[in-house]
Amino acid sequence: MTILSAKNVNVCYGNRQAVRDVSFDMERGDYLCVVGPNGSGKTSLVKALLNLIPLKSGSVERTNCAVGYLSQQNPVQRDFPASVSEILLSGRLRHKGFCPFYSKDDRLEAEKQAERLGITGLLKQPYRNLSGGQQQRVLLARALCAGSDLLVLDEPVTGLDPAVTDELYELIRTLNKNDRIAVLMVSHDVRRAVENASHILHMHTHPLFYGSSDSYSTTDLYRTMCAVETCCR
């Protein structure tokens, strides 16, 4: 069953086209990594899919799909003065409507996702005092509180050390495999993308490749991106 469908998506900023003619479908349990060089339109595509920026043309359809979104963090967000529990509960805001108070169900959902991601012991801790890896677990739990049919993750491991990066990738893969949560991830790491994802979308404003990870791993695009990553280390 298709839960997300993008058809000929185009995004422009003034006269500059950021995304050109991107089309793909996602089903429950899919794991799609969007890769490509900096400035290739990856984040713009994600924001268009989430209706955070307008389309110039094309369409995006979601079918019975509750979406959780983890965006790139900036330094101000990392220093946000709130407890972990408050961060998780903020993921329930889209479910509140005009009700200004969190319900028992909201709190139970936050506790459920905290347990799922192994952060129950951190609930009373100040978010700003956590390590980078702990903060990303909290934000992933917050995204799950917002919606657990599709997780949209924009560079979720940026700035983390290799061991914590591996841990977070394993956690995301477990959510995908065991709970059938669809994952759409923007990633700069093509090797890990191929290792973890079922599908790859390689962009340079427009799609240069869309298909299975196995097929992508045989392309010159993949070999070139791996060579660039090796040179930059």
Residues 5-58: tens digit of each pLDDT: 999 999 999 999 999 999 999 999 999 999 999 999 999 999 999 999 999 999
pTM of the predicted structure, to 2 decimals: 0.91
The residue from 119, 148, 177 where one domain ends is 148
Which residue range forms the structural domain that includes residue 27? 1-65+149-233
Amino acid 35: pLDDT: 96
The residue from 148, 164, 189 where one domain ends is 148
Residues 66-97: tens digit of each pLDDT: 999 998 876 656 777 899 999 999 998 765 55
Query: Do 225 and 154 share a structural domain?
Result: yes
Query: Do 60 and 80 share a structural domain?
Result: no
The 3 state secondary structure assigned to the chain is CEEEEEEEEEEEECCEEEEEEEEEEEECCCEEEEECCCCCCHHHHHHHHCCCCCCCEEEEEECCCCEEEECCCCHHHHCCCCEHHHHHHHCCHHHCCCCCCCCHHHHHHHHHHHHHCCCHHHCCCEHHHCCHHHHHHHHHHHHHHHCCCEEEEECCCCCCCHHHHHHHHHHHHHHHHHHCCEEEEECCCHHHHHHHCCEEEEEECEEEEEEEHHHHCCCHHHHHHHHHHHHHC
Amino acid 99: pLDDT: 57
The residue from 120, 148, 176 where one domain ends is 148
